[in-house]
Amino acid sequence: MRPIPTAFHIGPLEFHTYGLGLAIAFYVAWRYLVARVRARGIRTDPLVELGIWVVVSALFGARLFHVLTNWSTYSSQPLQILEVWHGGLASFGGLLFAVPTALWVKHRRYPELGILDGLDIAVPALALGWAVGRILGPQLMVAGGGHPTTSWIGMYYADQVGKRIPVPIIQALEDGALFVLLILVERRLQRVSAARATRTPPTGALTAIAMVVWGIARGLDERLWLGEDGRLGSDLVQAASVALAIGGLVIGVVVYRNWRSYLSAPARPAVPGPTQLAGP
């Protein structure tokens, strides 16, 4: 089976499947985020500004992180730094720049929305976008596969010799499973809090779950199928994965305690009976 073409032509124009796939993934995540914001009765007009800033900062950070962790390659061929159509975007670099940028825009345009409230709204859309983006992004780029393999699951990728572990497909399944998990947890928490409509339920559960699950999954992917022992980029990715998972655990502990307090409090104010209304 030959590698999937990484570019195609329409007349004189050349289009790279990697970039087109990422554009589709961004659009899917964007539309779902708009739907989630609208479903909560929150105004959606600032989302255009938010989306532009997040996309630009994520692309810049992802490319910068990739270049820095592969500097031995790019230092001798600096012009390749600009060749993003060949791939080379690091997820953690995108997060490192996009999340602070998103929080800054949220502070300006949604000052009434708490940080964890905003993250809980966004993380399912982010997981969905990642799932789509793995299939339509790295799966279609130059050198998109993992370690060499002779297994039946191996696939051929452009500019890589022999069959490779289809890590983009594996990661798409991981991110898709995370998306389903987040939606199931969200619906469960909504049902639990429905009976306590007089109180606002704690937030942050979805954020904590996403950080822990994605951090562990991304670290294992790098360790088992992508990384090379002693390589700076691989070591940094694994360290960032551990840090993300630990941060999620810390948030999770706080959220768990908040939910215990929330559930232990009376669901509704007691309705006074006839004897209470009659007075002494």
Average pLDDT, the chain: 83
Q: What is the pLDDT of residues 72-91, one digit of tens each?
A: 667 777 766 666 655 566 77
Burial code (b: 16+ CB inside 10 Å, e: under 16) for 42-65 equals beeeebeebbeebbebbbebbbbb
Rounded Cα distance, 139 and 21, in Å: 9
- Tell me: the pLDDT tens digits for 10-51? 766 666 777 788 889 989 999 999 999 999 999 888 888 888
CB atoms within 10 A of CB 19: 18
267: pLDDT confidence band, cut at 50, 70 and 90? low
SS3 5: coil
Residue 81: per-residue pLDDT: 67
**pTM of the shown model:** 0.82
Q: What is the pLDDT of residues 149-172, one digit of tens each?
A: 999 999 988 888 889 999 999 999
Question: If you write DSSP's letter for every residue of 10-77 in order, what string do you get?
Answer: ETTEEEEHHHHHHHHHHHHHHHHHHHHHHHTT---TTHHHHHHHHHHHHHHHHHHHHHHHTHHHHTT-
